[in-house]
């Protein structure tokens, strides 16, 4: 009997926790509905209630810690549209999720090469730019890029560069070249980035080849370079987002990652430094798109327009440290920073976030590769993993 | 009346056919099809490439299982010899960690084992590295613990040890004491009693414990990802890659899962041949 | 003998230290003032405050508890009746059913998860393609031709429902395995006696059978609940756009786990600990009372 009482107790406790959660909800958002559940579900209740019942909603899928959450609440308050905000770990996993057909997102924020792939597989729908007046504010530099040459499908969300992050207390001299990733100087003290495109890409840059090459011999040579280094024990491990704890904690000396993420690591560990290697590197654009089978097309356009505004871009830039494609926002950011924090923004950090023209000049964008090259990448990558 | 009662199980039989059997049949079907829908054996032909991953996974899982057995059997044994109050507390203490999410517990291990983590900091503080460097003239500032196979095995042992202890304990506790007394009366010393009576009788618990540790160990992907530094793939990572990772290929993934399942079942059958346990999962 | 006892206790203490060191670390660092699991920067409750403000994490906690409670409740009821049914079944039929029943327990989680994932995706595609499209087509037809309207059906997708179904599927076997042995231990003549004394079958079931097997039901339910709360792999493959605490943590583990999650685990752990202590103290007291009476 007592065990039963205990169970009841546990249940009522669970209920209590849930109620307090809801209460928090209300006081936090000011609205009475249980709207936004990020990365997640309790959308269950929402899914089953049909969209016909007059409630407007939009299903967004983005990356983890890739938005200033208060923007979501603001959007909900301004428009009354409920945002179901979900996250996916990587472009590849997002692609798998979409392929498996188990999800029904409206807006996604993939990176350039994935956008090209989605367009070529007819998974996106053309946008109605008349509903996105803020598109005008996007700098011309980020329009008409290879993944969407005619500006039909995308509104850029952020951009940035890939580079080497290193701990100044653990290396002998400032790093400027990809060479360090393949030499024995810091063997066992380096983290290899855990996706084929970036890992083989840095080898291609180092060898002086085109990063979008389809020449099998060149790709094999690059893969061999990485594989040899791995066999010699140059890399202590492979990781994507693991890099945060590893570098912040001073556990390894060198890693390859994105500029925006370097800046948030730098906040926690000022010993870290960043460089875009002299051989060149990748610069990328993440952009918002609407899926072909989206159910809430109007709401999706409203969301995209809201996010593309200068205010939203400023808030986002401040929160996630990725540079904004909105020219006005990018220009205003140092002033915004000074106003918010009462101290000027370090120019060096600003230039890491928004790489200046001379740095961008040596960078290039990944393009979608033909199927056989992708298959080659995949096979070589698996060989490396074995 | 008997037959009428048995109809109570009917809904569950239908449920199992739908939610347990049908999905497994679908895995089998997927394993033999291509994305275009044709029948093929290609998925299995590609398995050759992954032999290394299969061997590595089974090796690591085997090591983890053996360590669990070596640690868990004595624990279950000494627990069973304590008084009832003590036993109950010990049981609770073994179950309790399960209430903290296993990913978080593993994450805590990451903080402990890191190069600049708690354990290395501790060694530093007590001057262990200075001592070693002094003696061997080395230049050691940390022990490399995380992102090694050892760390993966540690994670497996840590997470699945309770699954070894519980079944063994529940078998030992039910042993007929008169048997032990009889053996002693007949002149066997305690070592002999253990070898000839207790251990053989506790074999069903051991077998079930071995299964319950080995199966999750061989198929884990979170532990190897978190503690193994992604250096070397295990079977779980390989399968996960095919479903939710970069290489979306559920057909190949199904084939790998199927092969793994068959190997595991063969192992179980062979093992159970040696000891017979009518009810496999004697958890409590 | 005494030496043996000290040795065995010492061994136990070592193992428990091994089991609890990471948990202790988690608890301690939930009170850390900094966003770190390694560096201690003073005591603070800020992660607890942030936890209750974080809709994302609270949503995941809510989902986890809801799915565990629902799955446990449903599986306990279904599992108990099924066990009774199996008990009355002929061995020839019962054994295969029990073998299949063991599959979700014995099978590797990842295989179960992957199998359910494929199954749900297919089932949902079929459902959306036939039932939902058919019904909505019918509604459109009504609207266009007869100016009448009916509510439309929404398309299904992977989410809370599939998550719940998956949890029920691995919870029921535990309940059955815990209840069945208790039924076997029960004296069958008790049921006959009750019925001879005028009880209906249902009456006999509630008055005689249920009290006899209650320990089995309770331990089955407890195990089912624990398994549900602790599950990650199967949820990961079947949750679709829903999220549980485990999935949330797995998403964060790669970047950096917010100490909020230490806080939430500390709370859950504390509650369970207190409950277990209460149960145990009361049980041992009762036992003492019983033995005193003897």
- DSSP of C25-79: HHHHHTTBSSS-SS----B--HHHHHHHH-HHHHHHHHHHHHHHHHHHHHHHHHH
- Residues of A whose CB is below 8 A from C65: 14, 17-18
Indicate the residue of A2, A51, A100 with minimum beta-carbon distance to C283: A2
Mean pLDDT value across chain A: 84
The model's confidence at residue C204, banded by pLDDT at 50, 70 and 90, is: confident
Q: What pTM, to 2 d.p., does this model score?
A: 0.87
- Same structural domain, A153 and A166: no
Q: Which of C256, C260, C281, C283 to mutate to test the interface with A (most CBs of A within 10 A)?
A: C256
Within 10 A of A183 (CB to CB), how many other CB atoms are there?
A: 14
Residue in the structure block whose two tokens are 């996974």: B57
Number of H helices, E strands in chain B: 17, 0
How far is residue B185 from each of residues B87, B182, B188, B190, measured CA to CA in Å?
27, 5, 7, 11
Which run of H or of E encompasses A12? helix A2-29
Coil vs helix vs strand at A159: strand
H-only helix segments in A161-258: 196-207, 216-231, 243-248
Please name which of C171, C170, C164 lies closest in space to residue C224, comparing C-alpha atoms. C171
Quick one: tokens of C227? 């398994």
Count of residues for chain B? 284
- Same structural domain, A294 and A275: no
Q: Which of A9, A14, A195 to mutate to test the interface with C (most CBs of C within 10 A)?
A: A14
Q: Does C169 touch chain B (CB under 8 A)?
A: yes
In a domain, B23, yes or no: no
> Do C256 and A14 make contact, defined as CB atoms within 8 angstroms?
no
Please report the residues numbered 87 through 126 in chain A whose beta carbons come closer than 8 angstroms to any beta carbon of chain B: 90, 92-93, 95-97, 99-100
> Do A18 and C240 make contact, defined as CB atoms within 8 angstroms?
no
- Same structural domain, A365 and A241: yes
- Residues of C whose CB is below 8 A from A103: 157-158, 240-241
In a domain, B250, yes or no: yes
Indicate the residue of C221, C243, C282 with minimum beta-carbon distance to A40: C243
In a domain, A139, yes or no: yes
Please give the pLDDT value at position C294: 60
> Do B257 and C111 make contact, defined as CB atoms within 8 angstroms?
yes
In a domain, A332, yes or no: yes
In a domain, A31, yes or no: no
The model's confidence at residue B106, banded by pLDDT at 50, 70 and 90, is: very high
- Residues of B whose CB is below 8 A from A245: 110, 114
- Residues of B whose CB is below 8 A from C104: 20
> How many whole angstroms separate alpha carbon A197 and alpha carbon A376?
11
CA A289 to centroid of chain Cα atoms:
14
> How many whole angstroms separate alpha carbon C239 and alpha carbon B275?
38
Please name which of A353, A330, A333 lies closest in space to residue A344, comparing C-alpha atoms. A333
**Lowest-confidence pick of A89-98, A289-298, B143-152, C109-118:** A89-98
Phi first, then psi, for residue C84 (nearest 5°) are -60, -45
Please give the pLDDT value at position A97: 83
In a domain, B142, yes or no: yes
In a domain, B235, yes or no: yes
Please give the pLDDT value at position A360: 93
Q: Quick check: B250 and B30 in contact, CB under 8 A?
A: yes
- Same structural domain, A325 and A251: no
- Domain residue limits at B54: 50-274
Nearest chain A residue to C214, by CA: A1
Coil vs helix vs strand at C198: coil
The model's pLDDT over B207-231, given as tens digits with 9 standing for 90+, comes to: 989 999 999 999 999 999 889 988 8
The mean pLDDT value for B105-114 works out to 91
> How many whole angstroms separate alpha carbon A50 and alpha carbon A47?
7
The mean pLDDT value for B56-78 works out to 96
Q: What residues contact C262, with CB distance under 8 A and at least 6 apart?
A: B104, C26, C27, C29, C30, C37, C47
Please give the pLDDT value at position B178: 86
- Same structural domain, A206 and A298: no
> How much of chain B exceeds pLDDT 70, in percent?
95
Quick one: tokens of B94? 């073994």
Distance from CA of C84 to the nearest CA of B (A): 7
The model's pLDDT over A373-385, given as tens digits with 9 standing for 90+, comes to: 988 998 898 888 8
pLDDT of C113 over the 60 cut: yes
Please give the pLDDT value at position A53: 47
In a domain, A29, yes or no: no
The model's confidence at residue A54, banded by pLDDT at 50, 70 and 90, is: low
- Same structural domain, A219 and A301: no
> How much of chain B exceeds pLDDT 90, in percent?
49
pLDDT of A311 over the 50 cut: yes
pLDDT of A9 over the 60 cut: no
pLDDT of A35 over the 80 cut: no
pLDDT of A49 over the 50 cut: no
- Same structural domain, A289 and A329: yes
- Same structural domain, A372 and A226: yes
The model's confidence at residue C280, banded by pLDDT at 50, 70 and 90, is: confident
Please give the pLDDT value at position A257: 94
Q: Quick check: A107 and A302 in contact, CB under 8 A?
A: no
> How many whole angstroms separate alpha carbon A187 and alpha carbon A237?
11
Distance from CA of B82 to the nearest CA of C (A): 9
DSSP string, B118-165: HHHHHHHHTTHHHHHHHHH----S----TTSHHHHHHHHHHHHHHHHH
The mean pLDDT value for B150-175 works out to 94
| A96, A99, A104, A108: CA torsion to nearest 10 | 60
- Same structural domain, A155 and A234: no
Please give the pLDDT value at position A10: 45
- CATH code of residue B66: 1.10.3720.10
Mean pLDDT value across chain C: 88
The model's confidence at residue A11, banded by pLDDT at 50, 70 and 90, is: very low
Please give the pLDDT value at position C150: 84
Touching C (3+ Cβ pairs <8 A), the chains are A, B
Please give the pLDDT value at position B3: 62
Distance from CA of B242 to the nearest CA of A (A): 9
> How many whole angstroms separate alpha carbon C164 and alpha carbon A62?
25
Indicate the residue of A95, A242, A386 with minimum beta-carbon distance to B248: A95
Please give the pLDDT value at position A150: 92
> How much of chain A exceeds pLDDT 70, in percent?
86
Task: Tell which phi-psi region holds residue A139, choosing left (phi > 0), alpha (psi between -120 and 50) or beta.
Answer: beta
Mean pLDDT value across chain B: 88
The model's confidence at residue A19, banded by pLDDT at 50, 70 and 90, is: very low
- Same structural domain, A105 and A194: no
Please give the pLDDT value at position C286: 82
Please name which of B237, C7, B44, C37 lies closest in space to residue A382, comparing C-alpha atoms. B237
> How many whole angstroms separate alpha carbon A166 and alpha carbon A213?
28
The model's confidence at residue A15, banded by pLDDT at 50, 70 and 90, is: very low
pLDDT of A18 over the 70 cut: no
Please name which of B147, C75, C123 lies closest in space to residue A100, comparing C-alpha atoms. C123
The model's pLDDT over A199-221, given as tens digits with 9 standing for 90+, comes to: 999 999 999 999 999 999 999 99
ipTM at complex level: 0.89
Please give the pLDDT value at position A34: 30
> How many whole angstroms separate alpha carbon A95 and alpha carbon C252?
20
In a domain, B159, yes or no: yes
Please give the pLDDT value at position A46: 37
The mean pLDDT value for B194-216 works out to 90
Q: Which of B231, B234, B250 to mutate to test the interface with A (most CBs of A within 10 A)?
A: B231
The mean pLDDT value for B71-90 works out to 89
Indicate the residue of C52, C125, C271 with minimum beta-carbon distance to A101: C125
Q: Does B263 touch chain C (CB under 8 A)?
A: no
pLDDT of C53 over the 60 cut: yes
The model's confidence at residue B275, banded by pLDDT at 50, 70 and 90, is: low
In a domain, B24, yes or no: no
Q: Quick check: A312 and A326 in contact, CB under 8 A?
A: no
Task: Work out how many domains chain B is built from and give that number.
Answer: 1
- Domain residue limits at A146: 47-159+284-341
- Residues of A whose CB is below 8 A from B232: 385-386
The mean pLDDT value for C50-74 works out to 91
In a domain, A351, yes or no: no
Tell me whether residue C257 is exposed, middle or buried, using C-beta atoms within 10 angstroms of its C-beta: 0 to 12, 13 to 18, 19 or more.
buried
- Same structural domain, A239 and A293: no
Quick one: tokens of B264? 């595991």
Please give the pLDDT value at position C254: 66
Nearest chain B residue to A247, by CA: B116
- Same structural domain, A135 and A263: no
Please name which of A280, A277, A238, A243 lies closest in space to residue A260, comparing C-alpha atoms. A243
Residues A186, A187, A189: CA angle, nearest 5 degrees: 70
The mean pLDDT value for B119-126 works out to 91
Task: Work out how many domains chain A is built from and give that number.
Answer: 2
Q: Does A20 touch chain C (CB under 8 A)?
A: yes
- CATH code of residue A179: 3.40.190.10
Q: Does B122 touch chain C (CB under 8 A)?
A: no
Distance from CA of B94 to the nearest CA of A (A): 19
In a domain, A346, yes or no: no
Nearest chain B residue to A227, by CA: B231
- Residues of A whose CB is below 8 A from C242: 40-44
> How many whole angstroms separate alpha carbon A323 and alpha carbon A333?
10
């Amino acid at each position: 009997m007592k065990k039963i009482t205990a169970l009841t107790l546990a249940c009522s406790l669970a209920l209590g926790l849930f109620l307090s959660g809801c209460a928090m909800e209300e006081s936090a958002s000011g609205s009475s509905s249980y709207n936004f559940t990020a990365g997640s579900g309790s959308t269950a209740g929402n899914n089953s209630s049909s969209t016909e019942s007059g409630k407007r909603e939009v299903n967004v899928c983005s990356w983890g810690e890739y938005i200033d959450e208060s923007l979501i609440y603001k959007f909900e308050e301004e428009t009354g549209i409920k945002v179901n905000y979900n996250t996916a770990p990587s472009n590849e996993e997002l692609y798998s999720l979409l392929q498996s057909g188990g999800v029904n997102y409206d807006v996604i924020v993939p990176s350039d090469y994935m956008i090209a792939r989605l367009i070529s597989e007819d998974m996106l729908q053309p946008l109605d730019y008349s509903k996105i007046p803020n598109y005008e504010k996007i700098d011309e530099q980020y329009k008409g890029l290879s993944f969407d040459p005619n500006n039909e499908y995308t509104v850029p969300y952020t951009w940035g560069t890939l580079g080497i992050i290193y701990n100044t207390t653990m290396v002998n001299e400032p790093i400027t070249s990809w060479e360090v990733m393949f030499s024995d100087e810091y063997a066992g003290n380096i983290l290899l980035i855990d996706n084929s495109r970036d890992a083989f890409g840095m080898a291609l840059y180092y060898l002086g080849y085109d990063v979008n090459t389809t020449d099998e011999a060149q790709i094999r040579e690059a893969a061999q370079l990485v594989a040899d280094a791995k066999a010699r024990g140059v890399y202590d491990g492979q990781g994507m987002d693991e890099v945060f704890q590893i570098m912040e904690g001073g556990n390894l000396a060198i890693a390859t990652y994105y500029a925006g993420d370097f800046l948030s690591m730098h906040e926690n560990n000022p010993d870290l430094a960043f460089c875009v290697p002299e051989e060149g590197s990748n610069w990328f654009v993440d952009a918002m798109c609407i899926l072909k089978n989206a159910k809430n097309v109007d709401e999706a356009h409203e969301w995209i327009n809201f996010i593309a505004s200068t205010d939203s871009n400023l808030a986002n830039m401040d929160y996630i440290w990725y540079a904004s494609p909105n020219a006005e926002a990018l220009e205003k950011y140092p002033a915004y920073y000074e106003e918010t924090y009462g101290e000027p923004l370090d120019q060096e950090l600003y230039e890491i976030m928004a790489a200046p023209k001379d740095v961008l000049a040596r960078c290039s964008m990944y393009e979608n590769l033909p199927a056989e090259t992708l298959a080659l990448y995949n096979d070589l990558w698996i060989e490396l993993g074995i | 009346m008997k037959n009428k009662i048995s109809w109570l199980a009917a809904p569950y039989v239908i449920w199992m056919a739908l939610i347990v059997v049908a999905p497994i049949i679908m895995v089998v079907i997927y394993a033999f099809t291509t994305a275009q829908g044709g029948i093929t054996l290609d998925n299995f032909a590609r398995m050759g490439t992954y032999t290394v991953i299969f061997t590595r996974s089974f090796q690591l899982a085997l090591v983890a299982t053996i360590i669990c057995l070596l640690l868990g059997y004595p624990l279950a044994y000494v627990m069973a010899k304590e008084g009832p109050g003590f036993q109950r507390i010990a049981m609770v203490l073994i179950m309790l960690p399960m209430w903290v999410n296993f990913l978080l517990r593993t994450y805590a291990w990451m903080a402990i084992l890191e190069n600049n983590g708690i354990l290395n900091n501790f060694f530093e503080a007590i001057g262990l590295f200075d001592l070693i460097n002094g003696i061997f003239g080395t230049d050691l500032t940390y022990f490399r613990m995380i992102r090694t196979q050892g760390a993966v095995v540690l994670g497996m042992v840590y997470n699945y040890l309770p699954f070894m202890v519980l079944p063994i304990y529940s078998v030992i506790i039910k042993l007929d004491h008169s048997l032990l007394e009889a053996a002693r009366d007949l002149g066997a010393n305690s070592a002999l009693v253990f070898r000839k009576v207790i251990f053989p009788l506790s074999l069903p618990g051991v077998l079930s414990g071995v299964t319950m540790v080995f199966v999750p160990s061989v198929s884990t992907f979170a532990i190897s990802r978190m503690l193994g530094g992604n250096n070397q793939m295990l079977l779980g990572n390989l399968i996960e890659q095919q479903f939710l990772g970069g290489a979306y290929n559920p057909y190949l993934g199904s084939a790998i899962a199927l092969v793994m399942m068959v190997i595991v079942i063969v192992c179980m059958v062979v093992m159970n041949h040696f000891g017979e346990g009518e009810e496999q999962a004697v958890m409590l | 003998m005494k030496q043996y006892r000290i040795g065995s206790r010492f061994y136990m203490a070592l193992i428990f230290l091994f089991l609890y060191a990471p948990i202790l670390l988690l608890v301690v660092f939930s009170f850390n003032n900094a966003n770190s699991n390694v560096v201690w920067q003073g005591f603070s409750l800020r992660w607890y405050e942030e936890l209750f403000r974080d809709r994302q994490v609270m949503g995941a906690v809510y989902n986890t508890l809801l799915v565990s409670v629902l799955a446990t409740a449903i599986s306990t009821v279904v599992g108990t009746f099924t066990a009774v049914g199996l008990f009355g079944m002929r061995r020839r039929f019962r054994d295969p059913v029990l073998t299949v029943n063991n599959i979700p327990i014995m099978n590797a989680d990842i295989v179960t998860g992957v199998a359910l994932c494929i199954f749900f995706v297919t089932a949902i595609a079929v459902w959306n393609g036939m039932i939902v499209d058919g019904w909505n087509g019918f509604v459109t037809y009504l609207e266009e031709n007869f100016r009448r309207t009916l509510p439309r059906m929404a398309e299904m997708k992977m989410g809370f429902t599939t998550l719940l179904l998956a949890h029920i599927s691995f919870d029921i076997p535990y309940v059955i395995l815990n209840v069945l042995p208790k039924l076997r231990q029960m004296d069958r003549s008790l049921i006959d006696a009750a019925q001879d004394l005028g009880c209906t079958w249902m009456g006999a079931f509630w008055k005689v059978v249920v009290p006899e097997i209650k320990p089995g039901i309770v331990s089955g339910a407890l195990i089912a609940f624990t398994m549900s709360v602790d599950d990650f792999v199967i949820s990961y493959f079947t949750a679709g756009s829903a999220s549980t605490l485990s999935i949330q943590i797995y998403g964060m583990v790669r970047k950096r786990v917010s100490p909020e999650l230490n806080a939430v685990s500390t709370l859950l752990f504390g509650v369970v600990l207190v409950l277990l202590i209460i149960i145990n103290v009361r049980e041992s007291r009762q036992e003492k009372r019983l033995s005193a009476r003897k």
